[in-house]
Amino acid sequence: MGRPVALVTGASGEMGHLLLPALEHRGYDIVSLDLVPLEAAQSAWCAETVTASILDAEVLDDLFRRHHPEIVFHLAAVLSTKAERDPDLAYDVNTHGTVSLFRRARDEARVRGGSVRFFFPSSIAVYGLADARAKEAAGAVKENDWNCPSGMYGINKLYCETLGSYFTRRALERGEPGIDFRSIRFPGLVSAETLPSGGTSDYAPEMIHAAAQGKPYACFVRADTRLPFMTMPDAVDALLALTFADPRALTTRVYNIGAFSPSAAEIRAALLEPFPDARIDFEPEAARQAIVDTWPADVDDRRARVDWGHSPRLGLREALRDYLVPALLQRYGARAATR
């Protein structure tokens, strides 16, 4: 028998850079699908790469017919900032694209007579706190709190979470093969390997990359703005931990995870240690600030820690010292201060 197949959509994005080698090392043949051609280094991890839209039904039918994936990682999405600029496109890609994959994964499960595992990255954008005052009062929010998103991206994500959970529950209740849906509501993610690509929480990675390059940066949120964040390596570790967790251990289909929750001012202060000449100002943009003010300052991730052992390795200081600064100095050829 050949190796099992994993279908990864949106594979050229930030998460795909670390997920593809991790899956290959786990013994999967990877089939990638993305509108953007993969870089050569990324393509090398894949058995097949396909450059096409998630909305192309013929392409999806062909991939499932030829490869019969037993696991799907659906990373493709229109992110939050772009979703507000083009909500029609976001709705088509983020909901129609996801539902079409649900249906094909469900049909594949029926053909193989066993479930198809389906990982869906969600977001803290599913939360919709009333305003900055409510956000401060709420503290660390639980999965079932404040599920009333105000932005198109969060609306799309919450809908697909609910539908994926429904399809899984329905199959289990009927005792028939179906999708085994699992989802993480990721906080803001920070990567040294890739540049930010359109998220409303991207002020943090943009600030960090600019400091490493010696470029001035105008942060688009207030200095007191606080969100949960995590490094990309910790995020991919969590993704894999949930994906391959024993289903009997799971008490829900959708989990919060977090690692550190600094204010924008605290990120700036931490960056001034390795980069004392960094020029970072705060010039809030009303539209993006309004969205961020509806997202939680922190999340309660106790379920993930208990059910499948979520345990991020890096806080903010450790992330800068042990991961981001060394990698970005190598990437940009800069030098940090020695202190």
**Could you tell me the mean pLDDT of each successive run of 10 residues in the chain, 339 residues long?**
92 94 97 96 97 98 98 96 95 98 98 97 97 91 97 98 98 97 98 83 95 96 98 98 98 98 98 96 95 96 98 96 95 63
Give the up-direction half-sphere exposure of residue 28: CA atoms within 13 A in the CB hemisphere: 26
Separation CA 248–CA 245 (nearest Å): 8
77 touches 95 (CB < 8 A): no
Compute the Cα dihedral for 334, 190, 95, 65 and give only its sign: positive
Return all residues near 47 (Cβ < 8 A) that are at least 6 apart: 5, 29, 30, 31
Q: pTM of the full predicted structure?
A: 0.95
Superfamily of domain 5-189+230-256: NAD(P)-binding Rossmann-like Domain (3.40.50.720)
Look up residue 125 and give its DSSP letter.
G
87: helix, coil or strand?
helix
Whole-number Cα distances in Å, 198 to 14, 209, 216, 298: 11, 15, 19, 21
Look up residue 264 and give its DSSP letter.
H
What is the reported pLDDT for 334?
60
- CA-nearest of 196, 194, 201, 216 to 271 is 216
Give the domain ranges of the chain: 5-189+230-256
What is the reported pLDDT for 239?
98
What is the reported pLDDT for 339?
40
Separation CA 51–CA 34 (nearest Å): 5
What is the reported pLDDT for 194?
85
